[in-house]
């Protein structure tokens, strides 16, 4: 979760220390720290990282807005009925798809460690072209109940990419609602066909809105 950053480790330990002190317990005792305290500390550390530890004025504000959009996109994927990738914390895209304004904000998000660039690029499964691979800083994962490690990555096309990072682009909600519908749709016609094949072609399915008994 700390990504090997000592500052993040100290942030988490500091929150644990504060919670234990509030409860009248010693941080230095030999007793194990209970899960509830650890969970509270991690959530508080994540909130501190998002609100205070990366607060550098208007530039960081732009980066944070982009980070919030990116995280919302990842969370939408994770909690979808038809989850597009397991443990979605990362995304890949073509670097040239970023317009100039989006590129500036993207670089700020990386500079402020809100988003992390992965050392190895992602090879597109179709074109074999190398794509940039990024992930949300795991320190922020608790704010959206996202994983702290990733397995798969989402592919961002130019439209959604610039909707996330271009501060003048106002189409993000439209794109997010579109993928919500896509990832949460249930294909009733296909479901009916599969059911008929399983129970027999002569079986009659209940009408929509009616109980089968």
pLDDT at 121: 75
Q: Max Cα separation, the chain?
A: 71
pLDDT at 205: 41
- Cα 107 to its chain centre, rounded Å, is 18
Q: Specify the residue for token string 């504060």.
A: 18
Beta strands at 122-123 and 130-136: parallel, antiparallel or unpaired: antiparallel
User: Radius of gyration (Cα) for the chain, nearest Å?
Assistant: 22
Tens of pLDDT along the chain (213 residues) come to 888 788 889 999 999 999 999 989 998 888 889 999 999 999 999 999 988 766 777 888 999 999 999 999 999 999 998 888 877 899 999 999 999 999 999 999 999 999 999 888 777 767 767 899 999 999 999 999 999 988 889 999 999 999 999 999 999 999 999 999 999 987 665 555 555 555 554 444 445 444 333
pLDDT at 150: 81
CA 47 – CA 51 distance, rounded (Å): 6
CA 177 – CA 133 distance, rounded (Å): 24
* Helical residues (DSSP H) of the chain, grouped into ranges: 6-22, 35-51, 58-78, 100-111, 158-165, 172-183, 188-199
pLDDT at 136: 96
Q: Specify the residue for token string 């650890």.
A: 38
pLDDT at 211: 39
pLDDT at 198: 56
């Amino acid at each position: 979760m700390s990504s090997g950053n000592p500052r993040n480790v100290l942030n988490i330990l500091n929150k644990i220390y504060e919670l234990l002190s509030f409860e009248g317990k010693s941080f230095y005792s030999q007793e194990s720290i209970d899960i509830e305290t650890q969970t509270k500390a991690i959530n508080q550390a994540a909130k501190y990282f998002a609100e205070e530890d990366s607060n550098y004025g208007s530039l960081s504000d732009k980066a944070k807005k982009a980070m919030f959009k990116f995280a919302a996109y990842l969370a939408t994927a994770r909690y979808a009925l038809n989850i597009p990738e397991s443990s979605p914390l990362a995304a890949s895209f073509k670097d040239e798809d970023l317009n100039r304004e989006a590129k500036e904000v993207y670089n700020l998000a990386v500079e402020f460690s809100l988003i992390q660039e992965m050392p190895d690029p992602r090879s597109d499964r179709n074109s074999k072209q190398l794509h940039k691979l990024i992930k949300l800083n795991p320190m922020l994962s608790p704010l959206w109940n996202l994983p702290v490690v990733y397995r798969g990555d989402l592919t961002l096309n130019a439209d959604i990419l610039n909707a996330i990072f271009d501060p003048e682009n106002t189409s993000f909600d439209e794109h997010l609602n579109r993928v919500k519908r896509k990832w949460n749709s249930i294909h009733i016609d296909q479901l009916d066909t599969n059911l008929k094949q399983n129970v027999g072609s002569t079986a009659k399915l209940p009408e929509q809105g009616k109980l089968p008994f």
